[in-house]
Amino acid sequence: MEVSYQIKFFERLQEFYPRKGEIIDRLSELLHLKKDGIYRRMRGETILSVDELMVLAKAHRISIDNLLDIPKNDVVFTFNSFSNSIKEVDDYVENLSDLLKEFSKFGKSQLYYASCEIPIFYYCLVPDVFAFKLYVWARTVWNLDYFQNVSFSPDMISADTRLHVPELFNLYKQIPTLELWSYNIFDNTLSQIEYHFEGNMFKDGQIALDLCDGLMQIQESMRQMAAHSAKFGNNGSKESGSELQLYHNEMIYTNNTLLFHHPYGKTLFTTFCNPNFIMSNDQRIADFSENWFKTIINKSSLISGQNEKARNKFFDSIKRKIEQSKNRIMIYMDQYH
């Protein structure tokens, strides 16, 4: 790396520290070097090794490509499945948990979340529904052998995995979020339930009805959180939950797009072969995404807080969809079972 890039890199690092003494101490700790060694590298007298560069970039979540003269239209993404391939459903839960724990280290932050279906963390409010989503992804996206010819039952997901499910939402509820939802947010999961029921892929047909009831429970929990503009668990406690700003988006049907705004910059996540995702720390694409969010928000309706009429209209529509799916399943059961 040329010295000019190295100096530019250290200038970026200094933005993380209010005083120069703090950055010297921290970099000495990370690189296991004395202070004079850090000063020489900051002045460009000693060239950073590739290993040193990667240690510092990773610790501060800096994208190296942002410092290089890459073509204007090129953006570098990382794909989670390349480094953390899913060999069993536990892997996905652990990876998701690790990501949220990483988020929690940043302190004051804000998450923008636009989704075409229920944001994944709300499934955790009803572990049986979350288990069903894992089953669907295991059979399709991850193509795990064990799930290919096995009918779904909630207990097929290990007890250890189920114990970690509430923890996922507890981690998520600590992050202030601004979320964009549409009327179609439950459609995908309802379709999956009906598909598996009609294909005799439930151990017991009653499971399909129980999953609809679980979605109804999630809908009601989400309604209550929107009313209080805060996230909280199924026990009804509103303590320790972070702020939730919820908007009804009628304009844009999008994939899952998340923009994490933290003290050190912005990180963009977007689903790719859902529920896998790609991620970028490129501030150009992050800024572009933030402007996109602001544009859509300006054309959306706030349904959290005091806007009770719009909120009830939104969730009553979702409630009717769940009831309609449940009724279709019950009629099918009466006719064919």
Of 118-127, 237-246, 256-265, the range with the highest mean pLDDT is 118-127
Cα separation of 27 and 21, whole Å? 10
Q: Residue 2: what pLDDT? A: 47
CA distances from 331 to 46, 309, 319, 335 (A): 75, 33, 18, 6
Instruction: Choose one of 60, 90, 105: the last residue of a domain.
Output: 60
Verify that 234 and 287 share a domain, yes or no.
Answer: yes
Verify that 187 and 265 share a domain, yes or no.
Answer: yes
Considering its fold, how many domains does the chain have in total?
2
Q: Residue 69: what pLDDT? A: 57
> Residues 75, 64: contact at Cβ < 8 Å?
no
Q: Residue 62: what pLDDT? A: 73
Cα separation of 140 and 197, whole Å? 16
Cα separation of 176 and 217, whole Å? 22
Domain, as residue range, for 45: 3-60
Asked if residue 65 is part of any domain, the answer here is no
pLDDT in tens, 67-78: 665 556 666 667
Q: Is the pLDDT of residue 241 over 90?
A: no
Verify that 181 and 325 share a domain, yes or no.
Answer: yes
Verify that 20 and 143 share a domain, yes or no.
Answer: no
Verify that 97 and 180 share a domain, yes or no.
Answer: yes
pLDDT in tens, 131-188: 999 999 999 888 888 888 899 999 888 888 888 888 899 999 999 999 999 999 999 9
Of residues 244 and 64, which shows the higher confidence score? 244
Verify that 119 and 256 share a domain, yes or no.
Answer: yes
Strands lying side by side in the sheet with 301-302: 78-79, 277-280, 265-271, 257-262, 110-114, 177-181, 244-248, 301-302
> Residues 25, 18: contact at Cβ < 8 Å?
no
Asked if the bond preceding 263 is cis, omega within 30° of 0, the reply is: no
